[in-house]
Structure 1
Amino acid sequence: MGVDIGSLLVKHPIGFDSLQGRRVAIDAYNTIYQFLSTIRQRDGTPLMDSKGRITSHLSGLLYRVSNMVEMDIRPIFVFDGEPPKFKQKTIEKRQAQKAESQRKLEEAISRGEKELKTYAQGTVRLTGEIIDESKALLDMMGIPVVQAPSEGEAEASRMVNEGLAYAVGSQDYDSILFGATRLARNLTLSGRRKLPSKGVWVEVEPELIDSAESLKALGIDRRKLVWAAIMIGTDYYEGVKGIGPKKGLAIVQKSSSLKESFELAKAGESYGQNEAELEEIERFFMEPPKPKDEPHIRFKEPDKDRIMDFMCGQHEFMIERVETALAKMSKKEDVKGQSKLEGWFG
């Protein structure tokens, strides 16, 4: 879900050419969830093969990632590890929300409604099978996969800060809280999209957020932005009632600690009741877990035979479309005859 601080940040529309030749650390769970939510039929059902196995995530990964590779963007998919214990309440809440969405979907079906996509999007679940299939396909495509020790966005942010990638790629803004210097949004969602809640079409373009620029414009440092985010509400804490981005910003601009921020928000009692957890959440944003070993990042030549067997043989994708995607990934060759992926790292 992420934190609602987008309205506070400075965003710059960009073209894909501005990311040409650059590595982008993709928040894998966020991206795959988007594929599962958006790549659906009008009746809300996800793409499936004849055995009833969901394939929306495979479609998104193959076709949209191949588009990125064709434009010489170098994606590195960073997968979540063990979530922090204070995220458990959010996980349980999301499970309850999905159950409620499933109930509403079934009611809409019984009423004979045809446009069910909005209802169905709330039922999306990232299963272990979907994650394993995604990793397997990315490996076949020659795209690096990194396993984070905890939150994927935190590891992706660390990779950016240590020069292993140019920007984090995610729809959520949490990476700014984790210290990423740059966040690239809408990389896999760009184009004309329909807003389900309003029934209108909008143009979605890639955008880049520079954290230093945004923090300077706000007149605060990252720690204070973390305080504001905690009061607004994050995946780890539900927030303070009545505190949105503007109020949260105004409060932290006058505060010298998270405790003082809560007191100014008239939530001192709540802070006292949850002090240990709130301090742990603040520390988690500022100093997230690091991997024991530096991830090995290497782009490889796509294994075309395995991809064709996996996508077409096992999951019944159209041969022509898969061949087109594969052609994009090895379309351009340098003077040594290397494919695009081989040419990146040799």
Structure 2
Amino acid sequence: MGVNLEPILIKHKTHIKDFSNNTVSVDAYNQIYQFLSAIRQPDGTPLMDSSGRVTSHLSGLFYRTISLMEEGLKPVYVFDGKPSPMKLRTLEERKAIKENSERELEKAIMTSDREKIARMKRRINHITKDMIDESKQLLTYMGLPYVQAPSEGECQASYMSSTGKVNAVISQDYDCLLFGAREVLRNFTIYGKRRVSSRNIYVTVDPEYIDLKENLSNMNITRSQLVDIAIMVGTDFNSGVERVGSKTALNLIQRYGNLEEVIREKGYRIPQYEDVRKLFLEPEVTDDFNVTFGKPEEEKIYSFLCDLHNFGENRVRPFIDKLKISLQKSNQSSLDSFF
């Protein structure tokens, strides 16, 4: 979910091809959740194989990742490690939302309300350890690197951007800016027409990018001050100040300089704000990773997707060919840049 900084940010519509030849870190949990939410059957049920195992995440990871690579992007997925203890409140809130959706689904089934059934099913997404393990296995077969973060995946992905190991981060969350990502790319794996289930309509979703340096300059603040703004609004790690949105928080920081002075002047009570600030500015990350792209193991991909999970061979085979071509181009461009 992350922090809502949208009202104060400059965002630019773009085309994926504009980021051709860029290596990008991808917040894996964030994207897998998007795949599970968006890649559904008409009745709201996720894609499944003949054994009843969910495959929406594998479909998104395989087809949409290769589509990105055809545009010249080189994705490095970053997986969550152990969540921060400060995130327990957010995790409990998410659990409560899912439980409420499950109760609403039961009611809809009892009344045979098909539209509500589909809507509730789309809201109920569970990312399991098996899904994460399957995702890593598929990436390995595809010849793509992935990184296991010690803590928050978006934190590690952002660190890789801030240190120049990758060019940008693909994520839906604005938190990546707080963690120092130089550029955040949104809607890069889920774009085009998207269904708004609560209203039964479709809206156009365009890829967009957010430049951290441009936004800090525009607001005349530092990243530390942006973090203070987020803390007042509320993050995954704290509840924020009641009735203080991003515009109000920005005005307060521009006027008083930092959160300590805002608290002193306004009397706000923000428990553990120093710890939240430190979490964003001094995150737990690792340098033990590489972004080397290998060769796809064609028969293992086919066996994993088609034999084990019932993907259609006629569709998988052409995408394997596309993957091989994309990796050859990627490795050649890396070799050319070396010389």
* Shared fold per TM-score greater than 0.5: yes
1:312 alignment counterpart: 306
CA distance in structure 2 between the aligned counterparts of 1:264 and 1:190, rounded to whole angstroms = 44
Give the Å deviation of 1:88.
Answer: 1.1
Instruction: Tell me if 1:295 matches 2:289.
Output: yes
Residues 43-62 of structure 1 show CA distances to partners (whole Å, capped at 9, x for unaligned) of 22111111110000000001
Residue-pair matches, total: 334
Q: What runs of 5+ residues in structure 1 fail to find an aligned partner?
A: 333-337
Give the Å deviation of 1:231.
Answer: 1.2
Alignment-mate amino acid for residue 94 of structure 1: R
CA distance in structure 1 between the aligned counterparts of 2:90 and 2:176, rounded to whole angstroms = 18
Is residue 22–residue 167 contact of structure 2 (8 Å, CA) maintained in 1? yes
Is residue 45–residue 122 contact of structure 2 (8 Å, CA) maintained in 1? no
Give the Å deviation of 1:114.
Answer: 1.8
Is residue 21–residue 330 contact of structure 2 (8 Å, CA) maintained in 1? no
Give the Å deviation of 1:266.
Answer: 4.3
1:343 alignment counterpart: 332
2:251 alignment counterpart: 250
Give the Å deviation of 1:304.
Answer: 0.9
Q: Do the aligned partners of residues 49 and 247 (structure 1) sit closer, same or farther apart at CA in structure 2, a change above 3 Å counting?
A: same
Q: What runs of 5+ residues in structure 2 fail to find an aligned partner?
A: none
Residues 144-196 of structure 1 show CA distances to partners (whole Å, capped at 9, x for unaligned) of 10011111111111111221111010011101001111111111011111222
Of stretches 98-107 and 26-35 in structure 1, the one that deviates more from structure 2 is 98-107
Is residue 26–residue 76 contact of structure 2 (8 Å, CA) maintained in 1? yes
CA distance in structure 1 between the aligned counterparts of 2:149 and 2:87, rounded to whole angstroms = 16
Within 5 A, what are the aligned runs for 1:213-224? Answer: 213-224=214-225
Is residue 3–residue 172 contact of structure 1 (8 Å, CA) maintained in 2? yes
1:109 alignment counterpart: 109
CA distance in structure 1 between the aligned counterparts of 2:333 and 2:127, rounded to whole angstroms = 31
1:25 alignment counterpart: 25
Q: Do the aligned partners of residues 241 and 326 (structure 1) sit closer, same or farther apart at CA in structure 2, a change above 3 Å counting?
A: same
Q: Do the aligned partners of residues 297 and 233 (structure 1) sit closer, same or farther apart at CA in structure 2, a change above 3 Å counting?
A: same
Is residue 23–residue 167 contact of structure 2 (8 Å, CA) maintained in 1? yes
Give the Å deviation of 1:297.
Answer: 1.6
Is residue 299–residue 344 contact of structure 1 (8 Å, CA) maintained in 2? no
1:35 alignment counterpart: 35
Q: Do the aligned partners of residues 247 and 265 (structure 1) sit closer, same or farther apart at CA in structure 2, a change above 3 Å counting?
A: farther
CA distance in structure 2 between the aligned counterparts of 1:262 and 1:313, rounded to whole angstroms = 60
Instruction: Tell me if 1:95 matches 2:89.
Output: no
Is residue 40–residue 117 contact of structure 1 (8 Å, CA) maintained in 2? no
Alignment-mate amino acid for residue 13 of structure 1: K
- TM score, norm. by length of structure 1: 0.92
CA distance in structure 2 between the aligned counterparts of 1:63 and 1:288, rounded to whole angstroms = 32
Q: Please, what is the CA RMSD of the aligned residues?
A: 1.6
CA distance in structure 1 between the aligned counterparts of 2:174 and 2:258, rounded to whole angstroms = 22
Is residue 329–residue 340 contact of structure 1 (8 Å, CA) maintained in 2? no
Give the Å deviation of 1:27.
Answer: 0.5
1:228 alignment counterpart: 229
CA distance in structure 2 between the aligned counterparts of 1:341 and 1:141, rounded to whole angstroms = 14
CA distance in structure 2 between the aligned counterparts of 1:260 and 1:183, rounded to whole angstroms = 30
Residues 26-75 of structure 1 show CA distances to partners (whole Å, capped at 9, x for unaligned) of 00000000001111122221111111100000000011001011111100
SS of 2:120's equivalent?
helix
Alignment-mate amino acid for residue 104 of structure 1: E
Give the Å deviation of 1:197.
Answer: 2.8
Is residue 24–residue 74 contact of structure 2 (8 Å, CA) maintained in 1? yes
Give the Å deviation of 1:101.
Answer: 1.0
Which of these residues, 318, 323, 331, is aligned with residue 329 of structure 1? 323
Alignment-mate amino acid for residue 289 of structure 2: P
1:176 alignment counterpart: 177
2:66 alignment counterpart: 66
CA distance in structure 2 between the aligned counterparts of 1:302 and 1:233, rounded to whole angstroms = 42
1:335 alignment counterpart: none
CA distance in structure 2 between the aligned counterparts of 1:344 and 1:313, rounded to whole angstroms = 34
CA distance in structure 2 between the aligned counterparts of 1:134 and 1:46, rounded to whole angstroms = 16
Q: Which runs of 4+ in 1 moved over 4 A?
A: 263-266
2:166 alignment counterpart: 165
